Amino acid sequence: MFKRLPGDEARNLVSTTPDTAVVFQPAVVRTPAIITLVIYLYRFLIALVRTIWRHPVATAVPTALGFTWYQYGWPLAASLFGIVTLSLTSWAYLDRASFARLVGWRLLAWWRLMSVYQRHWQSVMDVSGLGKRVNGRVYLPRLVRVQCDGWADRITVRMLRGQAVKDWSDRIDNLAHGFGVTSCRVALIKGGRLLLIFPRRDPLATPIPALPVPEEPTVGPVEIGKQEDGRPLRLKVHGTHVLIAGATGAGKGSFLWDTIRGLLPAIRAGLAQVWALDPKLMELSFGRELFQGRYAADPADCADLLDEAVSVMQKRAARFAGLQRTHVPTIEDPFVLVLVDEVAFLTAYQPDKQLRQRISAALATLATQGRSVGVGVMAALQDPRKEVMNIRNLFPDKIALRLDESEQVDMVLGDGARDRGALADHISPIPEQGAGVAYMRLETSPEPIRVRAAYVSDTDIRAMVAQFGEAA
């Protein structure tokens, strides 16, 4: 082998000692200093252009002040700085919302980028396993942009080629603790790009009092609370079916009563009806006067009421056939919402097998055929297992309140929901902190959103009955 190498190259590649094996050393190619300087200068210019493009205000202000100081002296620069500071302070005091939108959140995003994310990006990527080393070269996902609002940081990331969303969703705990926050959520923007959401505070930590009854009759979406980003939570009930799952004391009643509260003007106007099935006799019985006599608690009566709803649905379908494909609420054909509290008692725990089969068949019929003719189902249960609720996939919109096990999250919201940040099993069991807090996955959006429903107290229900019970 060595005879084929010219000169003394074998000496440079091989070192031998009496007590060791042959060790091959890679050849070292010395790069001229001028090439190294050119490479570093090129990288600096690219970083400078990128910084100016992404943060024009943050770079323009110190540049202008430095130019003024150099050209006209420090007194003028200090005066200019004072005028700018006073103007921004006055703006923030007079119109906080516009200042935050145009200046405040941008400055916070720049600060968080420099002090948190860019500073710890490489170490977090390496430790979490999202960065890769190939042949001694380090490959890191690219931090594209940081955006801030009142409650969270939103980080746009370009994944490495060959990475999948699951690679990131499996490491949400690593990312959260690596950047000093309590949780992280992952959402796909488009091929190769992800959105990481890091909440800085919890805007849903305090209970929400009952919302005012709408002035105008509407069948939805009805406002029932607020979302984590501060926007109102409006739940669609007309033209869909809603499944609500949560452990005892999680706040399922809040979603039921908020929906009823939002439909009260439509009920009084004759555009909507709420049919209530209350096998526990504890939740919906408190306002039975609002249901126009369509209230059932005994399992046999519940089966009869469901059969009546199926009959209404089938008659409408026969009349609408060939004439219309969507339902428009009228006094003759009002929107019918079938509320079922603790549906598992009727579909799984009911000892009468024949009655159980009747109820299950009626619910399945309504869930598959009802929404196009104006008959919707809202069902609440504690145990989301398939053997307890075997028609849960027939509900387009799903809500998961506090659950006992992590596996139950995907049972309710669909596969992968918990990996994307729907930590329903981590919701606080303390009523003041966690009751009514839920993750909601809608038919129109596969990403779960964190929400909290307003709390409708017994006093609020009595007031609802007093105001709308007679008219209903």
Known binding residues for ATP: 246-253
The closest alpha carbon to 454, from 281, 280, 274, 256, belongs to: 256
Rounded Cα–Cα distance for residues 184 and 422 (Å): 10
Rounded Cα–Cα distance for residues 229 and 294 (Å): 37
The closest alpha carbon to 213, from 267, 253, 252, belongs to: 267
- The binding site comprises 246-253
Beta-sheet strand order (sheet of 142-148): 142-148, 152-158, 193-199, 185-190
Rounded Cα–Cα distance for residues 135 and 146 (Å): 31
Rounded Cα–Cα distance for residues 285 and 277 (Å): 9
- Four-residue CA torsion sign, 116, 117, 118, 119: positive
- What is the CB neighbour count within 10 angstroms for residue 429? 13
Interior angle at CA 11, CA 7 and CA 13, nearest 5: 110
The closest alpha carbon to 451, from 404, 406, 371, 397, belongs to: 397
What is 245-313 written as a DSSP string?
E--TTS-HHHHHHHHHHHHHHHHHHTSEEEEEE-TTSSSGGGGGGGGTT-EE-SHHHHHHHHHHHHHHH
Rounded Cα–Cα distance for residues 237 and 255 (Å): 11
What is 136-186 written as a DSSP string?
TEEE--EEEEEEE-SSEEEEEEEPPTT--HHHHHTTHHHHHHHTT-S--EE
Backbone phi, then psi, for 203, in 5-degree steps?
-75, -5
The half-sphere exposure of 414 on its side-chain side, counting CA atoms within 13 A, is: 18
Rounded Cα–Cα distance for residues 305 and 346 (Å): 13
Taking the CA atoms of residue 281, residue 284, residue 287 and residue 289 in that order, the dihedral angle to the nearest 10 degrees is -80
